[in-house]
Amino acid sequence: MSIQDLIINRRSIKKFEQDSHFEDAKIQQAIELAAYAPNHGMREPWRVIWVKKDRLPAYGRLFAEVNFKNDSAKGQAFIDMAAKLGGILIIAGPVDRRQKQRLEDLLAVGGYMQTLSLLLFDAGIGSCIKTPASLTEPKFNEALGIHDHEMIHGLVYLTELPEETAGKPRKNINLISEF
């Protein structure tokens, strides 16, 4: 598939009904190749915490405990859904106190995550980037080994691709203005 086709046809897959299983080698290759995404000053301000298939129930319980403390039904529904995923990639990285470097790091992480999504799609793996409020919860961060000088940028859920992933027309067609 050409890079243009990948960009046009990749979609965030938000249905997690099917039990997903993927070869670790495909996921690892996507993680490693995504590191070639452009980033400012070759800082590569990311690291990946890979929650593999066998660890998803434990992760689901942690997430449910942090996010659904007062709603056990929602918590159990999340645990059940998480167990169907093919894995979760947690993208974390340093927080630079310098404003310019922090902005550059955030842009670089966005480029990494988009490149990762394209590579996963090319490998036949569906993905969806999630940014729940619990990314900043101390208990969640501590359990995931997030250091004091780091933050979680997002979660990448890995799931089956639907049979159709045709591109959708974009709303923002007037991207260019002239100076």
Side-chain-side CA neighbours of residue 76 (13 Å)? 3
Q: Is the pLDDT of residue 129 over 90?
A: yes
- Residue 119: C-alpha distances to residues 28, 32, 46, 131 (Å): 11, 10, 17, 20
Pairwise CA distance, residues 16 & 36, whole Å = 29
Minimum mean pLDDT range among 5-14, 52-61, 103-112: 5-14
Element (H, E) at 175: none
- Phi first, then psi: give them for residue 129, nearest 5 degrees: -85, 130
Q: What is the dihedral of CA 105, 114, 13, 136, to 10 degrees?
A: 0
Share of the chain above pLDDT 90, in %: 75
- What are the strands of the beta sheet with 150-159, ordered from one edge? 47-51, 87-94, 150-159, 126-130
| Contact indicator for 79, 73 with CB cutoff of 8 Å | no
pLDDT at 174: 80
Domain assignments of the chain as residue spans, ordered by start: 23-52+87-159
Minimum mean pLDDT range among 137-141, 142-146, 166-170: 166-170
Q: Is the pTM of this model over 0.75?
A: yes
Q: Which two tokens stand for residue 134?
A: 């619990």
29 or 13, which is more confident: 29
pLDDT at 167: 65
The CATH number of the structural domain formed by 23-52+87-159 is: 3.40.109.10
Element (H, E) at 75: helix 72-84
DSSP notation for 138-165 = HHHHHHHT--TTEEEEEEEEEEPPPS--
